[in-house]
Amino acid sequence: MNLDELVFHPWAVQGPRDVPTLVGGSGSHVTDVSGKRYLDFSSQLVFTNLGHQHPKIVAAIKEQADRLCTLAPGNASDIRGEAARLIVEVAPEGLGHVLFTTGGTEAVEHAVRMARLFTGRPKVLSAYRSYHGSTTTSIHLTGDPRRWASDTGTAGAVHFFGPFLYRTAFGSSTAEEECERALAHLEQVILLEGPSTIAGLVLESVTGSSGVIVPPAGYLRGVRELCSRHGIVYIADEVMVGFGRTGAWFGVDHDGVAPDLLVFAKGVNSGYVPLGGVLIGDAICEMFTQRPYPAGLTYSGHPLACAAAVGAITAMHEEATVEAAARLGTEILGPGLKELAGKHEVIGDVRGIGGLWSMELVRDRTTKEPLVPPGAVGASNAPMASFAKACLERGLLPLIMGNRIHVAPPLNVSDADAASGLAILDDALAAANF
Ligand code: PLP
């Protein structure tokens, strides 16, 4: 019996699957049960920023496991404190405390709760084309079709359009125009919803799984300014892009912005042990020096997860991973993917930054009709499935989201591996049944 059939898979039609069973890994590669190696161009779900089996992270987990595997959150813990110190040290100005969670979704839930307690207001704004998690609040904030099946319209979420020049909602033709118009639109939404009803605004600093959309320069600064002007808590969702993915420690750093709350997960410890958290601004933290924070988790700041964070962040400093991610984007992935767009008519747009890129596949470059519709499964998704199969046959693990191929190798991928990944994508694009 294929034991994978006993596992209920998130976001998936259940039933037998034709996928390799992975049993090992090292650096940018994973190995299946037959010994075949695959270059991991997905960093799994964009979290193994330091690749697989990084010796420093593995050693940190082992050392902590030998010393003290677990502790309740109420105890003081040396490793938890050290993880918090390392996180705060690289965080934007004014974010001096960390609430640890076990992942990104929980971090979003807690940030929203804090914003509501701080302002006494009910609503939360978020962008169309966003993903913030799959629990009740976070799925309602999610702005893409993954929300639809769960949306009861009762969570106080209000959506707005962020800047996205390729499919502009504002008829813009330049990034500057798109930025200006998106900010004017957001201001209208705030004014018409009523600023006194809006607790917070949650925004991915670079939109990740809903399209890899990099905001134009000045947009995040404009959002910061609007939130400050209207007393709205600005929550930066850095679950996917925090800890180096974009070639900066955090996505907000590209625009020189400090949010009131910042949620993180994934790259904080390359996902070796589940960990997420909320970086908390001083004003909000101050409120909870007068009264208790009314929420918690049994595994908040789990020692093994915190040890993995200490190992990962230390390695990132030692190996200059953030700088490597910036170079990966400007010198290798950006130019390489644009070259692919020159060869393959099916690629409508290439966009990204650092170690996070996307090729959007279209039926027609003029109409920009997506190659497969949103939420496509089965026959309607056949073109993307045939591309995925072509990648796996050639020894590459791809990350496919709807009509897009996301490209997100480990940030420490070697130049040679990155080049061979690009060559496999080229070959698979030619071989796929589009
Ligand atoms: N926010 C963003 C931007 C994400 O990309 C994700 C997950 O991909 C989440 C929140 C949810 O995080 P998790 O899956 O760790 O709960």
Question: How much distance in Å is there from the Cα of 97 to the middle of ligand 1?
Answer: 21
Question: How much distance in Å is there from the Cα of 278 to the middle of ligand 1?
Answer: 13
Closest CA to 76 of 303, 291, 228: 303
From edge to edge, which strands make up the β-sheet containing 198-204? 95-101, 276-281, 261-264, 233-237, 198-204, 123-127, 157-160
Residue 319 dihedral angles phi and psi, to the nearest 5°: -100, 5
Question: How much distance in Å is there from the Cα of 339 to the middle of ligand 1?
Answer: 30
Taken in order 185, 189, 195, 198, the sign of the CA dihedral is negative
Q: For ligand 1, what atom is nearest to the CA of residue 266?
A: 15
Write down the pLDDT at residue 377.
86
* Contact present, 46 and 265 (Cβ < 8 Å): no
Choose which residue among 239, 245, 356, 406 to substitute to test ligand 1 binding: the one with the highest number of ligand atoms within 8 A of its C-beta: 239
Q: Which CATH architecture describes the domain 55-319?
A: 3-Layer(aba) Sandwich (3.40)
Write down the pLDDT at residue 375.
84
pLDDT tens by residue, 222-274:
999 999 999 999 999 999 999 999 999 999 999 999 999 999 999 999 999 99
Taken in order 29, 31, 36, 42, the sign of the CA dihedral is negative
As for ligand 1, residues whose beta carbon falls within 6 Å of it are 45, 103-105, 108, 131-133, 204, 208-209, 237, 239-240, 265, 276
Choose which residue among 44, 132, 139 to substitute to test ligand 1 binding: the one with the highest number of ligand atoms within 8 A of its C-beta: 132
Question: How much distance in Å is there from the Cα of 403 to the middle of ligand 1?
Answer: 20
Both structure tokens of 97: 């405390």
Write down the pLDDT at residue 1.
80
Question: How much distance in Å is there from the Cα of 40 to the middle of ligand 1?
Answer: 19
- pLDDT by 10s per residue, the chain, length 434: 889 999 999 999 999 888 999 999 999 999 999 999 999 999 999 999 999 999 999 999 999 999 999 999 999 999 999 999 999 999 999 999 999 999 999 999 999 999 999 999 999 999 999 999 999 999 999 999 999 999 999 999 999 999 999 999 999 999 999 999 999 999 999 999 999 999 999 999 999 999 999 999 999 999 999 999 999 999 999 999 999 999 999 999 999 999 999 999 999 999 999 999 999 999 999 999 989 999 999 999 999 999 999 999 999 999 999 999 999 999 999 999 999 999 999 999 999 999 999 999 999 999 999 999 988 888 899 999 999 999 999 999 999 999 999 999 999 999 999 999 999 999 999 999 99
Single pTM value for the model? 0.98
* Contact present, 244 and 412 (Cβ < 8 Å): no
Q: What is the CATH number of domain 3-53+320-431?
A: 3.90.1150.10
Write down the pLDDT at residue 409.
98
Question: How much distance in Å is there from the Cα of 11 to the middle of ligand 1?
Answer: 13
The position carrying tokens 């046959």 is 393
Domain boundaries, the chain: 3-53+320-431, 55-319
In the chain, what is the greatest distance between 2 CA atoms, to the nearest angstrom? 63
Write down the pLDDT at residue 58.
99
Which protein residue has the closest C-alpha to ligand 1 atom 13? 104
Q: For ligand 1, what atom is nearest to the CA of residue 138?
A: 10
Residues 6 or more apart in contact with residue 302 via CB below 8 angstroms: 70, 100, 102, 273, 274, 275
Which protein residue has the closest C-alpha to ligand 1 atom 10? 132
Write down the pLDDT at residue 55.
98
Write down the pLDDT at residue 106.
98
Write down the pLDDT at residue 378.
87
Question: How much distance in Å is there from the Cα of 47 to the middle of ligand 1?
Answer: 10
